[in-house]
Structure 1
Amino acid sequence: MTASFTRRRVTTKSRTAAVGAVAIVGALLLTGCGDQTNKAKQGNSSNAADKGPLFSKLPQKIQDAGVIKVGSDINYPPVEFKKNGKVMGLDPDLANALGKELGVTFEFNNATFDTLLSGLRSQRYDIAMSAMTDNKGRQDGVDPDTGKKAGEGVDFVDYFTAGVSIYTKKGADQSIKTWDDLCGKKIVVQRGTVSHDLAKAESKKCEKSGKRKIAVEAFGNDTEAQTRLRGGGAAAGSSDFPVAAYAVKTSGGGKDFQLVGEQVDAAPYGIAVSKDNTELRDALQQALALIIANGEYDKIVAKWGVKDGAVTKAIINGGK
């Protein structure tokens, strides 16, 4: 869901000392800087202090509602997905932890990924949390194809880091190791993601170098793209590393797909918030800093096997 950094393998980040993390949290606190599914339930006391340490930092509208409405494409395991009718994954678990600090319910609403920012702009959601890459284009509201302003930009509270991976049918990699090897072949991706943007950009590079373009087939969700590849309708698929790795591990009991090559374009996932909603943005940043400091964040990323993408600080708009 990833953006442009230099191409490299994502490596585990070194941990800051607990004292430093607590100091960051203290500084933040002093500055005050579709489907309804996963919910972090809190107490019903009218005393704000009983609801959560950061309840008073939230916009009054959200305090009154007791709910943060989340737009999310709930079909992207292990980040967010449904199992037996229940929403689960990295994002819902992190939302639950943030909800405890903020004293409100995070209410996930299902939508296709490419409609999330428009839903945020129209106030259908308070935030978008869906393995969404924080990059300058989204911050500024720029269309990745035209390079022109397409709408209002958003702010991001960055909470994870991931790169983009290529995967193929198991035992049928067709000598694909890098994006250059995809010239003249077909790749399947989820529409509106950075994998989609990257595939289109790489296709243009193929053409400029005198090679055949990459045929890019985009779907409404990643599961549809995987189904197409599984059925032999493409040479490869691409998605964020945690998602591609999860598909390789679980699809067909691990017999359907294999990862090829290295991750590229490591970048942060961010919780998207409207630029005019700085009060909510800053409250989310403070809540994230708290769960990093108290160790709850580390427990969640470890639970989902994605510790290599963990962050050590709560940063706003860290994407390039």
Structure 2
Amino acid sequence: MTASTTRRPFTARTRTSRLTAVGAIAVAGALMLTGCGDQTEGAKQKEKGDATSAAPLAAKLPQAIRDKGEIKVGSDIAYAPVEFKDASGKVVGIDPDIADALGKQLGVKFVFENGTFDTLLTGLRSKRYDMAMSAMTDTKDRQNGVDSETGKKVGEGVDFVDYFTAGVSIYTKKGDDKGIRTWADLCGKKLVVQRGTVSEDLAKAETAKCVKAKKGKITIEAFDNDQQAQTRLRAGGADAGSSDFPVAAYAVKTSGGGKDFQIVGEQVEAAPYGIAVAKNSAQLRDALQAALDAIIKNGEYEKIISKWGVQAGAVTEAKINGGS
């Protein structure tokens, strides 16, 4: 109700007419106040429901998340083009774009919170995040909460909703590949990687083979994020680097205007990226799967993948725990 609400005038010629008019105004006023009250309550309901009014899959989410209106996402935001900050500090990339599209289906906002990659699952288990989305490869070890290096149980494990497929690549300084074409060529050389990634796991497995073949171990230097690894290689502190193919390809394309790095050999170990959720969050997991299937079907997913030039990694359906 606003100050410009129309007020109808009256003329009090007799006491009866005045009393009748006053009574009429009192009734009208009560009705108007009731109307304003309804509008206020309606506005509150509308404000609360705005996020879900156009969201066809909102009802699939847990009520607690619907009430909050947001999903907290743990992510290592230094892994271009999957997730990174642009010049203005805004979080951008493949994952944020997909998350925005999922949010339209579910009626909530996906809020990305930065963390180092090897702490994301711990943060998920401690309920710091509702999910983790960070170019994380879906593996049986992660599903079962097993340390891939020691084989020991380290946690409850997580479920994955798979949304992309990527392999692992090796890259070197441009014009200085050190004769590296395959993982076996890394024997006796120094490799930079991001800590806790499949690249690090592959390097450790390969160096064991190198030692067995008496070719010299791979010296592995692991960093908190991939940008640090790239900086090390760029400065000549290593012979090669390794990361997921989309990340390596993006670094080759953009670093130094395309003059810093080159990819050598073929990508290996192609596997799905998955959105990780806690084992006890089956309703959230299933809601994310339904939303991903919806954006694949309506074409929004294809637009995002094409925007970032990574069509080769597109999936045709959302699978749960499809990694091996």
CA RMSD of aligned residues (A): 1.1
SS of alignment partner, residue 234 of structure 1 = coil
Determine if the alignment matches structure 1 residue 166 to structure 2 residue 170: yes
Deviation at 1:48, TM superposition (A): 8.2
In 2, the alpha carbon distance for the partners of 1:162 and 1:44 equals: 40
SS of alignment partner, residue 250 of structure 2 = helix
1:178 aligns with 182
Determine if the alignment matches structure 1 residue 64 to structure 2 residue 67: yes
Letter in 2 for 1:97: A
2:55 aligns with 52
SS of alignment partner, residue 262 of structure 1 = strand
Q: Is the 8 A contact 1:44 1:51 kept in 2?
A: no
Deviation at 1:210, TM superposition (A): 1.7
Determine if the alignment matches structure 1 residue 203 to structure 2 residue 203: no
Which of residues 119, 132, 145 in structure 2 aligns to 1:115?
Answer: 119
What pairs with 1:1-320 in structure 2 (closer than 5 Å)? 44-46=47-49, 50-83=53-86, 84-320=88-324
In 2, the alpha carbon distance for the partners of 1:70 and 1:296 equals: 21
Count matched residues: 278
In 1, the alpha carbon distance for the partners of 2:48 and 2:126 equals: 32
Q: Is the 8 A contact 1:45 1:51 kept in 2?
A: no
In 2, the alpha carbon distance for the partners of 1:46 and 1:92 equals: 23
Letter in 1 for 2:60: K
Deviation at 1:44, TM superposition (A): 3.3
SS of alignment partner, residue 283 of structure 1 = helix
In 2, the alpha carbon distance for the partners of 1:149 and 1:45 equals: 42
Deviation at 1:209, TM superposition (A): 1.5
In 2, the alpha carbon distance for the partners of 1:92 and 1:46 equals: 23
* Percent of aligned pairs with the same amino acid: 73
- The structure in which a higher percent of residues are helix is 2
In 2, the alpha carbon distance for the partners of 1:82 and 1:186 equals: 29
Return the index of the structure with the highest Cα Rg.
Answer: 2
Deviation at 1:45, TM superposition (A): 5.0
Q: Is the 8 A contact 2:52 2:108 kept in 1?
A: no
SS of alignment partner, residue 151 of structure 1 = coil
Q: Which has the higher contact order (CA 8 A, sep 6+)?
A: 1
- Post-superposition Cα deviations, 1:148-207, rounded to whole Å, max 9, x if no partner, equal 111110000000000000000001001100000000000000000110111111111111
Letter in 2 for 1:289: D
Deviation at 1:211, TM superposition (A): 1.5
SS of alignment partner, residue 272 of structure 1 = strand
- Post-superposition Cα deviations, 1:228-262, rounded to whole Å, max 9, x if no partner, equal 00000000000000000000000000000000000
Query: Any stretches of 5+ residues in structure 1 without a counterpart?
Result: 1-42
Letter in 1 for 2:72: K
How does the TM-score come out when normalised to structure 1? Answer: 0.85
Show structure 1 runs of 4+ deviating over 6 A. Answer: none
In 1, the alpha carbon distance for the partners of 2:178 and 2:246 equals: 23
Q: Relative to structure 1, is the Cα distance of residues 50 and 221 closer, same or farther in structure 2, using a 3 angstrom cutoff?
A: same
Q: Is the 8 A contact 1:185 1:215 kept in 2?
A: yes
In 2, the alpha carbon distance for the partners of 1:55 and 1:174 equals: 53
In 1, the alpha carbon distance for the partners of 2:219 and 2:79 equals: 23
Letter in 2 for 1:192: G
1:26 aligns with none
Letter in 2 for 1:72: S
In 2, the alpha carbon distance for the partners of 1:70 and 1:279 equals: 16
In 2, the alpha carbon distance for the partners of 1:120 and 1:282 equals: 17
- Post-superposition Cα deviations, 1:106-148, rounded to whole Å, max 9, x if no partner, equal 0000000000000000000000000000000000000011011
In 2, the alpha carbon distance for the partners of 1:174 and 1:87 equals: 35
Deviation at 1:51, TM superposition (A): 4.6
Letter in 1 for 2:74: G
Deviation at 1:53, TM superposition (A): 0.9
How does the TM-score come out when normalised to structure 2? Answer: 0.84
Q: Relative to structure 1, is the Cα distance of residues 47 and 179 closer, same or farther in structure 2, using a 3 angstrom cutoff?
A: closer
Query: Any stretches of 5+ residues in structure 2 without a counterpart?
Result: 1-45
In 2, the alpha carbon distance for the partners of 1:51 and 1:130 equals: 27
In 1, the alpha carbon distance for the partners of 2:51 and 2:263 equals: 48
In 1, the alpha carbon distance for the partners of 2:113 and 2:189 equals: 36
